[in-house]
Amino acid sequence: MYWVKAKLVVLSNYNKLDYSSHYELNLQVVMLDKNSTWAFGHIVPQYAEIFEDPDYPKHYPNTVNPEYACVNHAKYEVRAQ
């Protein structure tokens, strides 16, 4: 049987995640405080300010939730580490 090695990146402020049941899946879990990343610590407030503009188009969740909009930035930032 072949297993695919995958990296599960958890961006959270909650540091007590039980991932012991995932060992048989051969996952590598990286715990990271999301606010320590450039994407969430720096870009989220800027996106929030833009999204609060009543004239800015609303397309949920892309242009409504600033954290959702920053997920790809965070993904690339973490993969570069």
Q: Per residue in 46-81, pLDDT tens?
A: 999 999 999 999 999 999 999 999 988 888 887 787
pLDDT in tens, 4-13: 666 666 666 6
Amino acid at 3: W
- The number of beta carbons lying within 10 Å of the beta carbon of residue 37 is 19
Position 54 scores a pLDDT of 95
pLDDT in tens, 12-59: 666 666 666 555 555 666 677 788 889 988 999 999 999 999 999 999
